[in-house]
Homo-oligomer: A and B are copies of this chain.
Amino acid sequence: MIHPTAIINENVIIEPDVEIGPYSIVHSGVKIGSGTKIGSHCEIGVETELAKSKELNIGKNSIIRSHSVFYSGSSFGPNLITGHRVTIRENTVTGLNFQVGTLTDIQGDSEIGDYVRFHSNVHVGKGSKIYDFVWIFPYVVLTNDPHPPSETRSGIEINKYAVIATMSTVLPGVVIHEGALVGAHSLVNRDVLADTIVAGIPAKLIGPTSRIKLSGSKDVAAYPWRKHFHRGYPEDLVNAWKLEFGE
């Protein structure tokens, strides 16, 4: 299951049923969980001074698509799924079933919870904290330097179930509270209250997320999204969400 052209360095732990595609490279200090599939042309476990002698740990049953680059010193829970050409730098820790789209670039030192979903081409500045069930859409940038360039790092925090729509920038130190929605093409320069919508440049409060109705409906709210959107989540979780909303 390991292609003969894959280059596996010494000091790599590969559990059973792992596939590694053609022309991929696995550096020293990497542990790959059972059932994981790594595509072609990847570079896994790039060594860096910023994570010296630290292991890279990829959870079981993961899928890493072609041309992706992972640095040493990070740890991923089981069922990680990536698109193509993803970059994840050192000292990032993620929970279960993190999904991250093509071209996304995570700069390191971030904490990412369970069932977090990043779409294509998301840029996560160092030191971001992203909690369970957050969704981030394409071309969103999470920053961390309040007056670049400087030595100050002020990472952002995004809480459970929050959604950041495409092409939005979140400025350093901002906290986005649970269930909030940042509209497309927004610049978020202050904290966002739970279950509210903000949008614009700079982003302003639009109202409660419950104001947005499902397409084609006049009275069914589109948020909290976990009331109606269940694809890709385990059955027990979906059942808990149904109970939460009295279904």
Which residues of A are at the interface with B, using a C-beta cutoff of 8 A?
7, 22-23, 25, 39-41, 43, 46, 66-67, 69, 83-85, 87, 102-103, 105, 107, 117, 120-121, 123, 135, 137-139, 141, 143, 146-152, 154, 163, 165-167, 169, 171, 184-185, 187, 200-201, 212, 214-215, 222-223, 225, 228-229, 231
Q: Which residues of B contact A138 (CB under 8 A)?
A: 123, 141
Question: How far is it, in angstroms, between the C-alpha of A5 and the C-alpha of B87 when the chains are bound?
Answer: 23
* Residues B185 and A169 in contact, CB atoms below 8 Å apart: yes
* Residues A214 and B152 in contact, CB atoms below 8 Å apart: yes
Number of copies: 3
Chain B's closest residue to A21 (CB) is B25
The binding surface of chain A is classed by DSSP as loop
Question: How far is it, in angstroms, between the C-alpha of A229 and the C-alpha of B154 when the chains are bound?
Answer: 16
* Residues B152 and A139 in contact, CB atoms below 8 Å apart: no
* Residues B84 and A87 in contact, CB atoms below 8 Å apart: yes
Q: Which residues of B contact A187 (CB under 8 A)?
A: 167, 184-185
Taking a contact as CB atoms closer than 8 A, the residue among B22, B201, B231 that contacts A185 in the complex is B201
Q: Which residues of B contact A117 (CB under 8 A)?
A: 149
Q: A120-B105, A152-B214 are in contact. Are A222 and B147 (CB under 8 A)?
A: yes
